[in-house]
A and B are shown apart, each in its own frame.
Chain A
Amino acid sequence: MDKRVTFKGWWLPLLLVLPQLLISGVFFFYPAGQAIWQSLFIPDPFGLSSQFVGMGNFEFLFSDKYYRASFVTTALFSTLVTLVSMVPALFLAVCADRLIKGAGTYRTLLIWPYAVAPAVAGVLWLFMFNTRVGVVSWYLGQLGYDWNHVLNDGEAMGLVVVASAWGRISYNFLFFFAALQSVPKSVIEAAAIDGAHFWKRFFTIVLPLLSPTTFFLLVVNIVYAFFETFGVIHTITSGGPQQATTILVYKVFSDGFVGQDLGSSAAQSVVLLVVVGALTVFQFKFIEKRVHY
C-alpha cells in the first residue's frame, strides 16, 4: 500500500518551489549565463565595443603556462586549507565534548574567530608576521629563523593557508561538536565495556558516525577555499612572491579589476564554475558512497 502523500495537479507544487526557482534564476543562472556569454568576447573596459572571439579567451588562457600553474597552486592551497581547518576543529570538538565544567565558555570562545571577516583576518595575520614589526617574526628571529614571506614562497603559502583556515576552524568546530553530541552514548559505553580504549573507540565508532558531517564540511570547505579566500590573499600577498599564492579566483579578480580584461576574467569564471561543479559531482559520486548516514 502506497502511503506517500502526493499533490494533485501541478499548480500547488509549482507555486511552492517558485520562490526557490526565482532566487536560483536571478542570483545564479542569470549571472552564470552572462559569464558564459561574456567569455566569448573581448570587450573594452567601457563597454563601447566588443569583439566576438569564440573560444579565443580560453585558448589564450590555456596557452599561458602561469595560468596552468595556477591550477596546481589552487589544488595545493585548497587541500591545505581544508586539512588545516578541519583537523584542528575535530580535535577541539573532541576536547570540548569531554569537558564538563566551563564547556559553554570554551565553546563560545572557539566560535569567535568565525565572526572576523577574511580580509580583516588577513590584516591581523599579516601584522603578526610582518617582517619588520610582526610579533611572531620577531620571536622567530630570536630563535635564529629569518622569516620573510615577501620573498620566500613556501612561507607565503603557509601564511595565507593559516590565515584562511583560522576562521574556518570555528565554523567546522560547531558542526563537529553538534555531531559528536549526537553520537549515541550507549554504543560508546558498550565498546568501553568490551575493552576498547579511547582512540580505538574514536577511530572505529565515532569517526564513522561523524562521516556525514565530515563529508558536508569537506564540500563546504573546498568551495570556501576556492572562492572566499580571495580577501586574505589580496591583503597578505597579492598573489606573490612571484606567483606562489595566485589561486584561480585571485586571478579572476586581478585580470578583471586590475587589468580591466573582462573577457579573460569571464572565461576564468566559467573555468572555475566547471572545476568546482566537477569536483562536487566527484565528491557526491565517489566519496559519498563511503558515508554512513
Chain B
Amino acid sequence: MKKCLSIILPVSASILWSASALAAAEVQFWHAFTGRLGELVAEQVATFNESQSDYEVVATHKGNYSETLNAGIAAFRAKEQPHVLMVFEVGTATMMGAKGAIKPVHEVMADAGAEFDPDAYIGSVKGYYTSTEGDMLSLPFNSSTPVLWVNKDALKAAGVDPEVDLSTWQKVGEVLDKVKASGSSCPLTTAWQSWIHLENLSAYHNVPFATKDNGFAGVDTELAFNSELQVAHIQAMGEWAKDGKFFYAGRRNEGGANFRAGECALFTESSAGYAGISSEAQFEFAVRPLPYWEGTEGAPQNTIIGGASLWVMTGHEDEEYKGVAAFLNFLSSEDIQAKWHQDTGYLPITTAAGEKTKADGFYDANPGTDIAVIQMTAKEPTANSKGLRLGSFDQIRGIIDEELEAVWSGDKDAQTAMDSAVERGNKLLRRFEQANK
C-alpha cells in the first residue's frame, strides 16, 4: 500500500502541476540554435518558466537562420505563427517591411504596461534594430562583432614579436610579408568576408555602405561600397591573395578550421569564435581589435554587429503578449544577460550586464574577451556605423561573395568587381522596394 501511494502521489502531483501549467498563457518561441547554444537557450527558458507561473514559454528549434526565417514566414501564411521568432540581422529589412506581420518590441512593452527603458541597451547593439525615430523594433539576442585573432606561436616561428602592433592594416601588411617570407602557407585568412571586409570595414572607417543611412532612412537605398576606401582595401587583399599572404577558404567560416589547426597566423573572425578557438587551439592565441587603415579620417569608428534578434509576431491574444513582454524583460535582465555574455562570447545587450561582467572579474580571467565590447562602444555610432538595413541582403551578400572570389582568383580587379557587385545588388534592392511599396 505504501509502495502504491509513493507512486500515486508524485503522479497526481505532476497532474496538478501540469493543470496549472495549462492555465498559464503559452508563448511560442522559435529559434535557430543547436549544440551548446541550444542548451543555453533551453536553460534560459527553463529559468524563466520556473521564475513565475502566469506564462509558459515553449522554445522550438527550427533549423539554421535561413530555415527559421522561412519557417516563420510559412507559418504566418498558414496563420500558425509563433509569438517570438529569431531572425538573423540580414533579415531585419524583410521583417521591417512586413508591417502587418510584426509587432514592434516598444509597442509590445507599452501595450503590456511592462517596464521598459530603451536607454539601458548598448547603443551600437540596439541601433541595428531601432527605427530612425529611435523606437526598438526587435530585441537584440545574440550579437557579435569581428576582431583579429592572432596565433602567437606562428608569429614567433616567423621571427615576429608576438606582441607586435597590429592595429592598422599597414602594420598587418608588414607582418604578413615577414610571415610569408618565413615559408608560411597561410599568413592571413578570414571568415564571413562580406560582413568583415566590406560591411564592417565601411562602418569602422565611417564611410557609407549604402545610401540613405545604409538603408535606415528608406527602401529607396542604393549600394555605395564601390568607393575609394573599400576598393583600396579589397585591392590590397587581392594582392595579398595573389602573393599567397591571404588564404581564402570559403564564403562562411571555413577558414576557422585552418586557424584552429594552427596553420594560419592571423584570422579575421567574429568575437563569438572564442568558444571554438579556446577549446581547440593547441597554440597560444590572442584577440586584437580589428585593424583599420591609418590615415582615414574618423577611423577607427565602431564596428557593427552580426547575429540575430527576436521579433514579435502579430495575431495573438493580449494576455500572451504580456507573457512575451515579461520574457523579453527577463532576457534583458542583468544576471541573465551577464551569464549569456560570459557563456557564449556574444556581446551583452545592456550596459549593466557588461559592467556586471567586469565587476565579476571575467575580463581579467579571460583576457581579450572585452575587446569586442570596447570596439563596439568606444564611440557613439554614426549614420554609417549604426548597422545595415537592406532588403534581399542575404542574396546581396551572395553576390558580394561571388565578386570577391573573382578578385581573390585574379579574374577581376577590385574596382571592376565592386562596381559589378553594386550594380547587381541594386537590382535586387529595386525588386525589394517594389515588393514592399
Chain B residue at minimum C-beta to C-beta distance from A53: B434
- Is B385 positioned at the interface, with any CB of A under 8 Å from its CB? no
Q: How many residues of B contact A (CB 8 A)?
A: 41
Q: Confirm or deny: A22 has a beta carbon within 8 angstroms of a beta carbon on chain B.
A: no
Q: Does B97 contact A (CB under 8 A)?
A: yes
Stretch among B31-39, B320-328, B390-398 lining the A interface = B390-398
B412 (CB) vs chain A CBs: closest residue: A242
Which B residue's beta carbon lies closest to that of A151?
A: B409
Residues 25 to 66 of chain A near chain B (Cβ within 8 Å) = 42-49, 51, 53, 60, 64, 66
Closest Cβ of chain B: how far from A290's Cβ, in Å?
A: 41
Q: Does B413 contact A (CB under 8 A)?
A: no
Selected interface stretch from B161-169, B291-299, B330-338, B400-408 = B400-408
CA distance A243 to B406 in the complex (A): 10
- Cross-chain contact A132 with B94 (CB below 8 angstroms): no
Interface pair B100/A46, CB less than 8 Å apart: yes
**In the bound complex, do residue B436 and residue A44 qualify as a contact, i.e. CB atoms below 8 Å apart?**
yes
- How far, in Å, is B160 (CB) from chain A's closest CB? 24
Q: State the CA gap A240–B411 with chains docked (Å).
A: 14
B70 at the interface (CB under 8 A from A): yes
A254 at interface (Cβ–Cβ under 8 A)? yes
Taken together as a complex, chains A and B put the C-alpha atoms of A241 and B409 apart, in Å, by 10
Shortest CB distance B411–A (Å): 7
CB distance from B206 to the nearest CB of A (A): 29
Kindly state the separation between the CA atoms of A69 and B434 in the bound complex, as whole angstroms.
25
Give chain A's interface secondary structure class.
loop
CB within 8 Å of A: which B229-268 residues: 248-251, 254, 257-258, 261, 263
Q: Which of B383-437 contact A (CB under 8 A)?
A: 392, 394-395, 398, 401-403, 405-406, 408-409, 411, 424, 427-428, 431-432, 434-437
A45 contacts across to B, CB distance below 8 A: 73, 94, 98, 435
Q: Is the CB of B435 within 8 A of A43?
A: yes
- In B69-103, the 8 Å CB interface with A consists of 70, 73, 76-77, 94, 97-101
Instruction: Check B66 for interface membership: any CB of A closer than 8 A.
Output: yes
- Docked pose: A202 CA to B49 CA in angstroms: 74
Interface of B is mostly: helix
Chain B CB within 8 A of A261 CB: yes
Contacts of A243 in B (CB 8 A): 402
> Known: A243-B402, A260-B73. Is A48-B395 also a contact (CB below 8 A)?
no
Residues of A within 8 A of B101 (CB): 46, 48
Let me know if A131 and B401 touch, CB within 8 A: no
Q: Does A190 touch B at the CB level, under 8 Å? A: no
Query: Which residues on the A side are within 8 Å of B257 (C-beta)?
Result: 132-133
A263 and B435 contact, CB distance less than 8 A: yes
Q: Are A258 and B99 in contact (CB under 8 A)?
A: no
The residue on B at minimum CB distance from A50 is B435
Contact check, A254 vs B431: say whether CB atoms are below 8 A apart.
Answer: no
Cα distance, A151 to B254, chains bound together (Å) = 13
| Complex alpha-carbon distance, A261 and B406, angstroms | 25
Taking a contact as CB atoms under 8 Å apart, the answer to whether B97 and A44 are in contact is yes
User: How far is B392's CA from A263's CA once the two chains are assembled, in angstroms?
Assistant: 13
Q: At the interface, yes or no: A257 with Cβ under 8 Å from chain B?
A: yes
B224–chain A nearest beta-carbon distance, Å: 21
Contacts of A24 in B (CB 8 A): none
For the complex, what is the distance from the CA of A171 to the CA of B229, rounded to whole Å? 54
17 more A-B residue pairs beyond the given contacts A261-B428, A261-B435, with a C-beta to C-beta distance below 8 A = A44-B98, A48-B98, A131-B249, A132-B257, A150-B250, A150-B405, A238-B398, A242-B402, A242-B403, A242-B405, A243-B402, A254-B395, A257-B66, A257-B70, A260-B94, A261-B395, A263-B435
Interface residues of B (CB under 8 A from A): 66, 70, 73, 76-77, 94, 97-101, 248-251, 254, 257-258, 261, 263, 392, 394-395, 398, 401-403, 405-406, 408-409, 411, 424, 427-428, 431-432, 434-437
A-B contact pairs, 21 of them (CB 8 A): A45-B73, A46-B73, A46-B100, A48-B99, A48-B100, A48-B101, A51-B434, A66-B424, A132-B257, A132-B258, A150-B254, A240-B401, A240-B405, A241-B402, A242-B405, A257-B66, A259-B392, A261-B392, A261-B432, A261-B435, A263-B435
The 8 closest A-B pairs by CB, nearest first: A259-B395, A46-B98, A241-B405, A46-B101, A151-B409, A242-B402, A47-B77, A48-B100
